[in-house]
Amino acid sequence: MSLDWIYYAISWILLTWHSAWDAIGVPVGAVLGTNFAWILAIVFLVVTVRVILFPVFVKQIKSQRAMQALQPKVKELQEKHKGDRETLQKEMMELYKKEKANPLMGCLPMFLQIPVFLGLFHVLRRLDPDKQNQTLYGWTVDQFQSASQAKLFTAPIAGKFGSTADELASLGANGSTVKIIAGVLVLVMIATTYLTSRQMILKTGWAEDPQQRMIQRLMLYGIPASLLISGAIFPIGVIIYWVTNNLFTLGQQQWVLRKFPPPVTATKKTAAPATSRNPVQPAKSGGLFGRGKAAPPVPVKAAPPKVAGPKPGAKPVNNPKKSRPAKRQG
């Protein structure tokens, strides 16, 4: 199956935004070693894709809420079919089908962005200033040459951390500069990828379903770890796309989680009384980094003082006021 339609679509969006920034006066030439018109074109490629995928993101949130609501039933099934994994999976699939919940919906927006990422990766790899009179998926020769020479702080957007000496020579780039810029961007890409997953897990909690928990661990640890290696082959322009996409995701998730907070899980009504040795710790509201203001402690009413009763066998003590004889009037 040919992916040319993706390459043409990505190229059209990039060229449209580049022309828009050029029209409003953003310099096409390098300023501070950066061609801002092309950098902004990549940034707003992200905005365009995320706006198109926003309805899918809303469905993702609804699916996650549905999965959370089903956690008590999932836990019951796990207790009921403990040790019988095949029956457990069958019962859980029937439960998801009945309640119209899809455990894979949480990954759908990411999967839909993979073609965009691959398309941009394919296009940027073909930028080469040495190629004369080159066109590319609807690009003019001038647009191709302009994009081939586009830089971020003097590092070409088509360069990458693992660029060979021949590739750097064709791009007219300094190897040390490319490695520094690409290396910093890869670290930012890894950090923001980790934070996007951590943000959601802090707000929604770890899933009871083993399959869902495995997906959460993959998103939280597996993908950021893989970027440490694969980031060396990503062109700088692609890393700019990835970092921008992560920042967009952080902002979008924060807005959604504030506007539509996840349901509060029920807690046990009966709890062991707090003692002086084991005081109850105030709950913390988890933020992006797991930090938050401590909830105010619940005031504890002071117990009334105990009144000691009379000891067994002791004579009752009369009230002196009551036992005093009345005065005679005479």
Cα distances (Å, whole numbers) of residue 142 to 105, 119, 121, 129: 42, 21, 21, 11
Strand partners, 284: 294
One digit per residue, the tens of pLDDT, for the chain of length 330 reads 578 999 999 999 999 999 999 999 998 787 889 999 999 999 999 999 999 988 888 777 777 777 777 878 888 888 888 888 888 888 888 888 887 777 777 677 778 888 999 999 999 988 888 877 788 899 999 999 999 999 999 999 999 999 989 988 988 899 999 999 999 999 999 999 999 889 878 777 787 767 778 888 888 899 899 998 889 999 999 999 999 999 999 998 888 878 767 666 544 343 444 444 444 434 344 445 444 444 455 555 555 555 555 555 555 555 555 445 555 554
How many Å is the maximal CA-CA distance in the chain? 138
Q: Please, what sign has the CA dihedral across residues 185, 187, 193, 197?
A: negative
Q: What distance lies between CA 307 and its chain's CA centroid?
A: 59
Residue 212, helix vs strand vs coil? helix
Instruction: State the DSSP code for 33.
Output: T
* Helices of type H across the chain: 4-23, 36-52, 54-69, 71-80, 85-99, 108-125, 141-148, 165-171, 175-204, 210-217, 223-230, 236-259, 320-323
DSSP string, 109-145: HHHHHHHHHHHHHHHHHT--TTSTT---TT--HHHHH
Count other Cβ atoms within 10 Å, centred on residue 129.
17
